[in-house]
Structure 1
Amino acid sequence: ADQVYYRLNTTTSQPVTISVSPDLSLVDTYNDANQTNLQPLPAENVSIGNGGALTVAAGTAVSDPLEVTFSADGLAPGTYLLPLALQTDADVAEGQALYYGITVRKFDKNIYQDGYESWEIPLDTDWNTIFYLNTSEVQAHYADYVALETIQKDEFKTTKQASLGNIIVLRIAQVDYDTASQRVIFAPTSDLFYTLEHSDKYIAQMKDKGRKISVCIEGAGKGVGFCNMTDAQIADFVSQVKSFVDTYDLDGVNLWDRGSGYGKEGMPAMNTTSYPKLIKSMRETLGEERLLTVVDHEEPTEYFWDTEATGGIAVGDYIDYAWHGYVSQNEPIEFCDPYNPSSMFPQVHPRKAIAGLDKNRYGTVNVPFYTDGSDLAQDMTMELWMMNTIMWGLERSNNIIVFDNLDITCCK
């Protein structure tokens, strides 16, 4: 579905009504002008709300939104063209049309093929695996090809095959700042935009299989971040994120306050109420149906256990999951469990449990994808690495595993 608006060049002194309706006679004209061979989307496969009427009220220049809904019922895979013609008695829309290109795909299953044999590998339900993916470095659909195979060690028989990646977190979107207007701006990179604009190639097949697609928001070094926004900036920023999530049909938002550059001259100091307010506003705006996750990392989240510091907001009441952000390609895998301070494995970065968040929703392990040739990737007998892994397996309280920055080498 999509929402259509109509905007006049200036405000109107009287109401203007524009009718919107499919005009399939424009398909041939479009194909001739653009040297394409698109097929028309049948009129029965589109539904236009409000009887196809857009109204610009007197004293305004923009109409209320009109919802256009598409259906793939009865259509073969391919790309279809839908021209929507605009008409009005006032002639303001004379000859204008809006063109939609509609791509119909086959439903994509988790199919593994070896020679002439093929079989379906379902999305894993025993583990809740989260993959971060930097769209500036890796094509997003690589996350679709990571799977787990369990083999019985004595008979060498496969006992389980499962596709991993329940939640795919796309990077990079940042917290930018316009000095002149003092506006905090939600700023996705061009690579993230490109990936989402071509979701039929990079995203849709992952969603077919039940994967949830989230966007990660982090700092841009401008001295502003989740911890020093005003209430007005929070409301504006959350509105921008909501528009982005709705436009690209994303399943959630991941907040990771790193690289914000706090302490820059002329910028507000960090405080302990801004971030909790942002989280609460984000949940209320996104609704319960979308995922809201937080990375517990350093000073921005270290006080989330203390509801007095957060202004009475129990952050855990407003998020689905949290996990620690202590992950590096230059260090062994780190395990961090704020719910078990007497853990047998060393906790290099001890944290406190987030108020309102039970231990089943906190990821205690964040796994780096080590680069080729890394000693940490090759030396599987490293004492600290192995001991931490064993202790985590004995003590783990949930099935969450986070993988940082999925690398193409893992998919070769």
Structure 2
Amino acid sequence: MKGNIMKHTGFIRLFRGAAFGCAATLLLVGCTEEPISYGAGQEPDGEALETVSGTLRSRRSLRDRIPVRLVEGYEDDVADQIYYRLNTTTSQPVTVTVSPDLSLVDTYNDANQTNLQPLPIENVILGNGGALTVSAGAVFSEPLEVVFSAKNLSPGTYLLPLSLQSDETNPGVLYYGITVREFDDNLFQQGDNSLEIPLDTEWTTVFYINTSEAQAQYADYVAWEKQDINDFQNVYRASLGNIIVLRIAQVDYDDAMHRVLFAPTSDLFYTLEHSDKYIAQMKDKGRKICVCIEGAGKGIGFCNMTDAQIADFVSQVKVFVETYDLDGINLWDRGAGYGKEGMPAMNTTSYPKLIKAMREALGKDRLLTVVDYEEPTEYFYDTSATGGIAVGDYIDYAWHGYVSEDEPVVFCNPYNSNTLYVQRVQRKPFAGLEEERYGNVNVPFYAANSNLFMDFDGAWIYDLSGWGENPTCNLIVFNDLKLPEAVVTEQGCIDMLDNFFMNLSYDYDGNQLFNSIVVTRIPGIYRNSSKNYDTFAKDW
């Protein structure tokens, strides 16, 4: 859903998430040049209407309390988008109006035993005069932008109640907790600006990095933080990206010698050759640096190599891993172009043999992970098809590879079909692989204009709630980290990470898990005037 984005000075970070706020009775508006508000339950002719109710929603939180982070002295504003959702369609447009109501700050403080300051009115701007209109026959209003500024604000935590103007005694309210902080140099190691925040221990997160687009060290600046839902204070802080998977390396083929070649791209080579800049700081924090191997469209891949080719290929990979002191290899059999004329047909024993040989070559101290995707891995449950090799005995983790920027987030658990979440992909467990070593979720990064950010139908958001209530594996895989869409802002991948972890905090009924904790992100180096996220674009 697109709306008119208000123009203003400074850069805007658009918060994206899904929200379920508090219900409110509507003011119905007639279709005239000068809109006229009618009392709820009345048409212009005075006939009674069936009761219509709605929900005020934010893209930043599932609840009515929304954290916002600003930095003292910085001009880049922060924006949220809010919506109004009806419980049913109507035959005429429905308009509600929201506005700041600072009279609710004292009430909030008394109810929650907090001491939050009211945000000055001049530090918030509402688009469209605060009006939210749901068109006839629609359920959602167009988005309304709410912009927050730190101008002239001292460090501290402020509260802005954004209230529906209604005749009801309990109108819908969104409570924004605005934290203004000083830039914290202690977040960074002395001299190199790398984040000094320990790795997360609650989840094992996997980041893919396409080195043809971004510097690998981008992954070192992604962190998350929990805030108490009542006072908006931080209670947990951790750095994400336990496993970093670098791309692109491929399976190539030498026609003259009939030799299968391990072929890293020049960008991957450059990254590893300059590991002091792009890799070292991540390894120092305990991140595992791996390389993904995938197909090159030559008709040869993991599923049709001879035994001699497997041995040769594995030896090439081993030299590469040892030369660049990598922590492991990720195998993703996609794009091989099987069926190409002159190339062998796929078989069910080549890939298992490759995995076994790769484990023996890498040893037990390095990671070997496999992406479960389509035909190449669909028979890994059946040792009679794999030549007696139980693939799970030779790998550390597997995760599914069904991920697309054009589809909702896919959840897949091969071990249990009776899950709280919908499984749109059905797979079978790898022989020898325990359930806790299979990653059930692979998260894409949506474009800024994608409705899947909000996911109005709840397709993946509700699945996430069900998955989060009883996860069988603490592994979360994120597809290629995307560079920001504008200088200084953190749109793109950072918003999607925020979105995912935020929604993971709720159950099906919108109740919070984690003892009343909400999730937000920690400002990274984009808050340092000498560094911005565009720093991480490919620079060679």
3-state SS, counterpart of residue 388 of structure 1: helix
Distance 1:307 1:214, change over 3 A: same
Tell me, in whole angstroms, the C-alpha distance in 2 between the residues paired with 1:205 and 1:125: 19
TM-score (norm 2): 0.54
1:229 CA displacement: 0.2
Moved more, 117-126 or 140-149: 117-126
Map 1:267-286; keep pairs closer than 5 Å.
267-286=343-362
3-state SS, counterpart of residue 391 of structure 1: helix
Match of 1:265 in 2: 341
Tell me, in whole angstroms, the C-alpha distance in 2 between the residues paired with 1:116 and 1:309: 57
Which digits, 9 at most, give the CA deviation of each residue in 1:66-89, with x for residues without a partner?
xxxxxxxxxxxxxxxxxxxxxxxx
Unaligned stretches of 5+ residues in structure 1: 1-112
Matched residue type, 1:385:
W
Does 2:394 correspond to 1:318? yes
Unaligned stretches of 5+ residues in structure 2: 1-180, 188-195, 485-492, 495-532, 534-540
Map 1:50-69; keep pairs closer than 5 Å.
none
Tell me, in whole angstroms, the C-alpha distance in 2 between the residues paired with 1:236 and 1:116: 51
Tell me, in whole angstroms, the C-alpha distance in 2 between the residues paired with 1:196 and 1:252: 14
Tell me, in whole angstroms, the C-alpha distance in 2 between the residues paired with 1:349 and 1:373: 26
3-state SS, counterpart of residue 408 of structure 1: coil
Moved more, 345-354 or 324-333: 345-354
Matched residue type, 1:205:
Q
Match of 2:36 in 1: none
Moved more, 381-390 or 353-362: 381-390
Tell me, in whole angstroms, the C-alpha distance in 2 between the residues paired with 1:356 and 1:173: 27
1:114 CA displacement: 5.0
Matched residue type, 1:239:
S
Q: CA RMSD in A?
A: 1.3
Match of 1:133 in 2: 209
3-state SS, counterpart of residue 338 of structure 1: coil
Tell me, in whole angstroms, the C-alpha distance in 2 between the residues paired with 1:384 and 1:351: 20
Does 2:412 correspond to 1:344? no
Tell me, in whole angstroms, the C-alpha distance in 2 between the residues paired with 1:354 and 1:212: 23
- The aligned length equals 299
Match of 2:293 in 1: 217
TM-score (norm 1): 0.71
Which digits, 9 at most, give the CA deviation of each residue in 1:345-383, with x for residues without a partner?
222210001000001100000000112222212x15432
Map 1:194-273; keep pairs closer than 5 Å.
194-273=270-349
Q: Give me the identity figure in percent.
A: 69
Tell me, in whole angstroms, the C-alpha distance in 2 between the residues paired with 1:223 and 1:356: 29
3-state SS, counterpart of residue 206 of structure 1: helix
Tell me, in whole angstroms, the C-alpha distance in 2 between the residues paired with 1:116 and 1:164: 19
Tell me, in whole angstroms, the C-alpha distance in 2 between the residues paired with 1:249 and 1:116: 33
1:115 CA displacement: 2.2
Does 2:183 correspond to 1:115? yes
Residue of 283, 300, 308 corresponding to 2:376: 300
Tell me, in whole angstroms, the C-alpha distance in 2 between the residues paired with 1:178 and 1:121: 46
Tell me, in whole angstroms, the C-alpha distance in 1 between the residues paired with 2:462 and 2:357: 41
Matched residue type, 2:354:
L
Residue of 252, 258, 261 corresponding to 1:182: 258
Map 1:139-178; keep pairs closer than 5 Å.
139-178=215-254
Match of 1:394 in 2: 469
Matched residue type, 1:298:
E
3-state SS, counterpart of residue 228 of structure 1: coil
3-state SS, counterpart of residue 224 of structure 1: coil
Tell me, in whole angstroms, the C-alpha distance in 1 between the residues paired with 2:185 and 2:388: 58
Tell me, in whole angstroms, the C-alpha distance in 2 between the residues paired with 1:393 and 1:367: 14
Tell me, in whole angstroms, the C-alpha distance in 1 between the residues paired with 2:444 and 2:418: 25
